[in-house]
Amino acid sequence: MSEKLQQIINRQNKTLSGEDTKIDEVIQLVGFIVGDEEFSVPILSIQEIIKPISWTRVPQTPAYILGVFNLRGSVIPLIDLRSRFGLEMIKHTEETRFIVMKNGDDVAGFVIDRLTEAIRLPKRDVGPAPETISESESMIDGVGKQADRIITILKVWKLLERNF
């Protein structure tokens, strides 16, 4: 009898906490296209999004680091995400944007092909990253499922980590 009771209580607890997630744990993301895929990063990690401006090449760096640019007096590195993801670099278009992301004191600008939209996603719709890539190397934080599509959520700290 007491076992049954315990089960009921457990079930009730689960439902309760489930409801909690529904209300509280919504993550807000900004989606963008690089190549053919849609990626996203948490909105709070974005400092600002600007139209392309001129930058200065920095020698002795990997090809995906385009250089540095001046953001109102700060010198900020500029990274091409296409190249970072192993895709071919293309000429910037009308829709190209620089997303300036920050994580603590680390700040960098990332070149993306175009923006899509701001997304609100319940946390339970976020699945883990595919296990084909080793956890420490992966830049993917998780995969967000929406009705008609899936969105890759990127680890901002990983993007901002120097790896050369």
Partner 1 sequence: MDEFQEILQDFLVESFELIEQLDQDLVELESRPDDLDLLNRIFRVAHTIKGASSFLNFDVLTHLTHHMENLLNMARHGDLVIDADVMDVILESIDLMKALLTRIRDSGVDSGLEISACVMRLDAVANGTEAPAEAPVATPVEEPKVVEAATEEDADYSGMSEAEVEAEIERLIAARQVEDAAKRAHKAEVSASAEEPDYAGMSDDEVEAEIQRLLAERQAEDAAKRAHKVEEPVAQKAQPAPAPVVAATPAVPVKPAAAPAPRRTEAKEDGESRGGSSVEQTIRVDVKRLDHLMNLIGELVLGKNRLIKINDDVEERYEGEAFLEELNQVVSIVSLVTTDLQIAVMKTRMLPIGKVFNKFPRMIRDLSRELNKKIELEITGEETELDKSIVEEIGDPLVHIIRNSCDHGIEVPNVRLNAGKEEIGTIQLRAYHEGNHIVIQIIDDGKGLDADMLKAKSIEKGIITEKEADGMSEKEAFGLIFRPGFSTAAQVTSVSGRGVGMDVVKTNIEKLNGMIDIDSEVGKGTSMKLKIPLTLAIIQALLVGVQEEYYAIPLASVLETVRISKDEIYTVESRSVMRLRDEVLSLVHIGDIFEVERVFDNSEHAYVVVLGLAESKIGLIVDSLVGQEEIVIKSLGEYLKGIEGIAGATIRGDGGVTLIVDVAALMQMAKSVKSTVGQESAESKGRSGAKNKPSDYTVMIVDDSKTDRTIMRKALEPLGITLVEATDGVEALNILKQGDHMFDGMLVDIEMPRMDGYTLAAEIKKYNKYKNLPLIAVTSRTGKADRMRGVESGMVEYITKPYSPEYLMNVVKRNIKFNEGL
Q: How far is CA 103 from the centre of its chain?
A: 12
x-marked contacts with partner 1 along 31-70 as a string, rule CB under 8 A: -----------------------xxxxxxxx---x-xxxx
CA distances 60 to 28, 64, 67, 75, 163, Å, are 37, 12, 10, 17, 13
Nearer to partner 1, 29 or 100 (CB): 100
Q: Can you read off the two tokens belonging to residue 97?
A: 């944007």
Considering only residues 122 through 161, tell me which ones interact with partner 1, judged by CB under 8 A: 160
73 binds partner 1 (CB under 8 A): yes
135 membership: H or E segment, kind and range = none
Min dist. Cβ of residue 32 to partner 1 (A) = 20
Helices and strands (H, E) in the chain, number of each type:
3, 11
The single residue among 105, 131, 135, 148 that binds partner 1, judged by CB under 8 A, is 105
Binding site for partner 1 (CB under 8 A): 54-61, 65, 67-70, 73-77, 105-108, 160, 162
